Amino acid sequence: MSKHILIADDEPTVVALAKQKLEEHGYVVETAVNGKEAMRIIEVMQIDLIILDVVMPVMDGVDVYKEVKKDSRTAKIPIVIMTDNRIFRESFQTLGVEHFLPKPLDADKLIHKVEYIFTCADLTGTNKHVLVLSPDLEINNDIGKLLEARSLIVGKSTDPIDFISTCLILSPKVIVIDLLLRGDIFTHELIRCLRSFSRLSKLKILIFTRFSPEDVDTMEGIEQLRESKDVCLEAGANKYIGRFASSTFWDMVKDFMV
């Protein structure tokens, strides 16, 4: 079932851009030009997410936020505040707002933020969630499809820092990590970091590689794979599942998913 998103903003160009982009991604979008109109929509419809401007006529974003949060029927609706004003942002943070989008609105950042919020909401409170980390977007998506086909809920990331933050927020049951990440953080360092938190003590950590020996044309490269695998297992990974292959992946990981 499609998620319903409410955009409350008195700038027509912002509303048009956001509405078009969200609808392209399958969301149902309602719009309001002021806070009072937004509240009328919230009262008669089930809204899954509110994207809210601060300065609006009739009723501003601060009053809308307070009204939504004081009503038990709507208090859990996530709210994204759109603002380029640092003072506004800091003021909303003191009220408990976690999600912001800068103005002028960037459509790609909008979609990333919305999908992140819905992923976190879907994963919270379930024991069927898995997080996947690889710098290869295609492999991330392939693993995601295989796991989602087994009724698991999957979060995917290419950034190790975001991945650590998400693990701490969601406390997933299983994570699947690429053996060779890119950037300043090695996979074994990330695993040690995760293992240092008591709340993640039951976390199952599976590691895989994108490469086979045939892909690595030197003995030095093959040895690097072996050393990386051994160091990751010593750091606290539960299992090395080898090279990712869609035909064998589920058989390698299914015992950890139940």
Least confident interval from 106-110, 138-142, 182-186: 182-186
Q: What are phi and psi of 256, to 5 degrees?
A: -90, -15
Q: What CA–CA distance (Å, rounded) separates 51 from 67?
A: 15
Q: To 10 degrees, what angle do helices 86-95 and 61-70 make?
A: 10
Same fold, 4-118 and 126-257: yes
The CATH code that applies to domain 4-118 is 3.40.50.2300
Q: What is the pLDDT of residue 24?
A: 95
Residues 6+ apart with CB under 8 A from 55: 10, 61
Supply the pLDDT for residue 226: 85
pLDDT grade, residue 231 (50/70/90)?
very high
Query: Which whole number is the average pLDDT over 208-218?
Result: 69
pLDDT class for 126, splitting at 50, 70, 90?
A: very low
Q: What average pLDDT is seen over the chain? A: 89
Domain positions in the chain: 4-118, 126-257
Options 3.40.640.10, 3.20.20.80, 3.40.50.10470, 3.40.50.2300; CATH for 126-257 is 3.40.50.2300
Among the listed residues 112, 60, 65, 131, the one whose alpha carbon sits nearest the alpha carbon of residue 93: 65
DSSP reduced 3-state for 179: coil
Q: Comparing 2-11, 74-83, 209-218, which segment has the lowest mean pLDDT?
A: 209-218
pLDDT at 100 exceeding the cut of 70: yes
pLDDT of residue 6: 97
What does the alpha-carbon distance between residue 139 and residue 108 come to, in Å, rounded to a whole number? 21
**pLDDT, mean of residues 130-151:** 90
In sequence order, the 6+-apart residues with CB closer than 8 A to the CB of 236 are 191, 192, 194, 195, 205
Residue written as token pair 């009220």:
95
DSSP readout, 118-175?
HHHHHHTT-S-EEEEE-S-HHHHHHHHHHHHTTT-EEEEES-HHHHHHHHHHH--SEE
Mean pLDDT over residues 25-51, rounded?
A: 96
CB atoms within 10 A of CB 181: 21
Say whether pLDDT at 170 is over 50.
Answer: yes
Tell me what the mean pLDDT of segment 223-227 comes to: 82
Identify the sign of the CA torsion 134, 135, 136, 137.
Answer: positive
Q: Could you give the 3-state DSSP secondary structure of residue 29?
A: strand
Q: pLDDT per residue over 232-248, tens digit each?
A: 999 999 999 999 999 89
Is residue 50 within 8 A of residue 79, CB to CB? The reply is yes
Cβ–Cβ < 8 Å for 189, 222? no
Percent of the chain whose predicted confidence (pLDDT) is above 70: 92
pLDDT tens track for 47-99? 999 999 999 999 999 999 999 999 999 999 999 999 989 888 888 888 888 88
Query: What gap in Å lies between CA 66 and CA 48, rounded to an integer?
Result: 17
Distance CA 53, CA 250 (A): 44
Q: How many helices, marked H, and strands, marked E, lie in the chain?
A: 10, 10
Query: Widest CA span of the chain, in angstroms?
Result: 70
